[in-house]
A and B are shown apart, each in its own frame.
Chain A
């Protein structure tokens, strides 16, 4: 396959079957390999669409500075596009994210403003909103409320999935900004009767929920509960175990949030088997495992890895 530039190669990622983890010929699991994007994550899609939209609207002009709260992947994707398009990039990132993310961001030329570990991404959002108010010339694309985030998945990820798997019955993805689930979910619901849209939400260690007040919680503006069929909370232990199973059984080296999605996908597969229904369950491999090597996620026992991951943001 030949493309005019790196950005032109974005998307059209492989959908691969999981013959060993699928419970039967009638209940099958399929992995959408979003790590095969230019910077190695699903976030390349929303990053490009958000920047394209801001350019069309005249919000972004050459020399502008982009500001974004991010736990990593969105920042990396934005930094890559920003570099190619001539923008400065500032990321507000929680300090409890992996070392690889910081290095990658700097490599693509982004400046990082750390936000406190306690409170996780909520704090990054709060800090970024404050900075945006102080610097009205900076452009905050704001992935949590930017319609182009979900739109990128409605226009690309969704159609790719349906083309490759017309018999799809379930779509499972991690819940962060909710952009993937909202975009793909809406696209599939319009075309596939009774399709199940399932969210897998990472459950972190207690530090990440270290809010001062329950009313400081955060629900992304993009989130529309009616798009989802259901939503599961997945522990770090389950996510780590599934990440390793995916590598051991199918050879796929994925990031930890993929294990989270796989855990929910396997739960759906189990329900389909028990109900005697056929199922084609597609889930998102949001990124590969490279960025998490330093967390020790793949080293030693799952228990040891879980302890090392305590207090880290892994999705």
Chain B
């Protein structure tokens, strides 16, 4: 099990301050469930009953998972998943 998940500052209270954690699973949904087992409360900050939370962006190897398959996006060992809050530009 070696998918690296990068955690934004604002959610590191769920990871004992760790910038990145590792997890496993065949899909993003499974990966988040796996993380939840070791970092209780984290999944609820990322996902609600409609899917990914509105102000949470998740990238699989830098590509936004909303354009890949959302929570059903396939993940595999060696992938990097990055979680970031949505911010403004311009």
**Nearest Cβ distance between residue B24 and chain A, in whole angstroms?**
23
B63-81 vs A, Cβ < 8 Å mask (1 yes, 0 no):
1101110000000000000
Give residues 195-216 of A contacting B (CB, 8 Å): 199, 201-204, 206, 208-216
Contact A219 B10 (CB under 8 A): no
Q: Please judge, given known A-B contacts A230-B64, A233-B59, whether A124 and B10 are in contact too, CB under 8 Å.
A: no
A39 adjacent to chain B (CB < 8 Å): no
Taking a contact as CB atoms under 8 Å apart, the answer to whether A232 and B89 are in contact is no
CB contacts (< 8 Å) of B87 on chain A: these are: 119-122, 204, 208-209, 211, 217-218
Give the interface SS of chain A, mostly helix, strand, loop or mixed.
Answer: mixed
Whole-angstrom CA separation of A233 from B6 in the bound complex: 13
Please, which residue of chain A has its CB at the minimum distance from the CB of B89? A176
Closest to B57 in A: A233
A73, A215, A315: the one contacting B55 at CB < 8 Å is A215
Residues of A within 8 A of B8 (CB): 206, 209
Q: Is A53 part of the binding interface, using a Cβ–Cβ cutoff of 8 Å? A: no
Question: When the two chains form their complex, are residues B88 and A233 in contact, meaning their CB atoms are under 8 A apart?
Answer: no
Name the one of A177, A211, A215 contacting B90, with C-beta atoms under 8 angstroms.
A177
For A, the interface residue count at a CB cutoff of 8 angstroms equals 48
Interface pair A219/B67, CB less than 8 Å apart: no
**Interface positions of B from 31 to 67, Cβ below 8 Å from A:** 45, 53-57, 59, 62-64, 66-67
Looking across the interface, which residue of chain B has its beta carbon closest to that of A70? B90
Q: Which residues of B contact A229 (CB under 8 A)?
A: 67
Shortest distance in angstroms between A101's beta carbon and chain B's nearest beta carbon?
13
Q: Quick one: given A206-B8, A209-B84, are A71 and B54 in contact (CB under 8 Å)? A: no
Q: Are A214 and B88 in contact (CB under 8 A)?
A: no
* A173–B9 alpha-carbon span in the complex (Å): 27
Q: 6 nearest interchain CB pairs? A: A217-B55, A176-B89, A121-B88, A176-B90, A177-B90, A231-B64
Residues of A at the B interface (CB closer than 8 Å) are 43, 69-71, 73-74, 119-122, 124-125, 143-144, 174-177, 179, 199, 201-204, 206, 208-220, 225, 228-235, 315
21 CB-based A-B contacts, threshold 8 Å: A70-B90, A71-B89, A73-B90, A120-B88, A121-B89, A144-B88, A202-B89, A206-B8, A206-B9, A209-B87, A213-B10, A214-B11, A214-B53, A218-B88, A219-B54, A219-B55, A219-B86, A231-B63, A231-B66, A233-B82, A233-B84
